[in-house]
């Protein structure tokens, strides 16, 4: 899962389903990545991998999986792995604007049916929608 970086996006090569895609990122995350590159990837260009292995090559999915799983154990989260982070990101992204097409694009899904899995309404929005029924006149 090599990732390269630029100003407002990251390019994920061979991501989930071996699909490569450009994922938009926020300005805040962009700044964090710039700081990360400055501290840990001195001299890296936008085309260089963002995450590298301990041997200096592109970090493979199994390495990312292992590191995230380890972080989950140390944090007491239990089962934590990259797909859970992906699922959380896509669900939260959907809940911002309810724009399934944009989430589909960010996820690299060919079918909106696959993306619909992430179209879960959060509890606050669910409550707001149910409460709005009280304001309706019949």
Domain match, 107 and 137 both: yes
9-60 confidence digits (pLDDT tens): 888 877 767 778 888 999 899 899 889 988 988 888 877 888 898 888 888 8
CA atoms within 13 A on the CB side of 61: 11
Does the pLDDT at position 72 exceed 80? yes
Same domain as 54, residue 2: yes
Domain span at residue 44 reads: 1-80
The pLDDT value given to residue 113: 93
The 10s digit of each residue's pLDDT in 100-134 is 999 999 998 989 999 998 887 778 877 888 888 88
Q: By the 8 A CB rule, do 43 and 89 touch?
A: no
Q: What is the pLDDT of residues 78-106, one digit of tens each?
A: 889 999 999 999 999 998 998 999 999 99
Q: Does one domain contain both 69 and 86?
A: no
Ordered DSSP codes for the chain: --EEE-SSEEEESS-GGG--EEEE--HHHHHHHHHHHHHHSTT--TTSBSSB-TTSSBPPHHHHHHHHHHHHHHHT--S--HHHHHHHHHHHHHHHH--HHHHHHHHT-S-HHHHGGG----HHHHHHHHHHGGG---
Instruction: Point out the domain boundary residue: 48, 80, 112.
Output: 80
Residue 2 pLDDT greater than 50, yes or no: no
Confidence (pTM): 0.75
Give the residues across from 3 on adjacent strands.
12
How many other C-beta atoms lie within 10 A of the C-beta of residue 109?
21
Domain boundary among 80, 107, 123: 80
Give the C-alpha separation, 51 to 60, whole Å: 9
Residue 138: pLDDT band by 50, 70, 90 thresholds? low
Asked whether the predicted pLDDT for residue 5 surpasses 70, the reply is no
- Residues 62 and 104 reside in one and the same domain: no
Residue 105 shares a structural domain with residue 85: yes
Domain match, 66 and 104 both: no
Write out the two tokens for 79: 């089962």
Q: Walk across the sheet containing 21-24 and list its strands.
A: 3-5, 9-12, 21-24
How many domains does the structure of the chain reveal?
2
């Amino acid at each position: 899962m090599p990732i390269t970086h630029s100003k407002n996006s990251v390019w994920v090569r061979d991501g989930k389903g071996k699909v490569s895609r450009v994922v938009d990122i926020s300005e805040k995350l962009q700044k964090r990545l710039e700081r990360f590159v400055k501290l840990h990837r001195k001299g890296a260009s936008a085309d260089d991998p963002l995450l590298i292995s301990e041997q200096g090559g592109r970090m493979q999915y199994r390495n990312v999986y292992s590191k995230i799983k380890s972080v989950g154990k140390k944090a007491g989260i239990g089962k934590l792995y990259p797909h859970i982070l992906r699922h959380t990101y896509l669900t939260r992204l959907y809940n911002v604007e309810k724009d399934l097409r944009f989430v589909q694009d960010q996820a690299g899904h060919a079918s909106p049916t696959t993306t619909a899995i992430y179209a879960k309404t959060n509890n606050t929005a669910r409550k707001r929608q149910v409460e709005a029924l009280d304001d309706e006149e019949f």
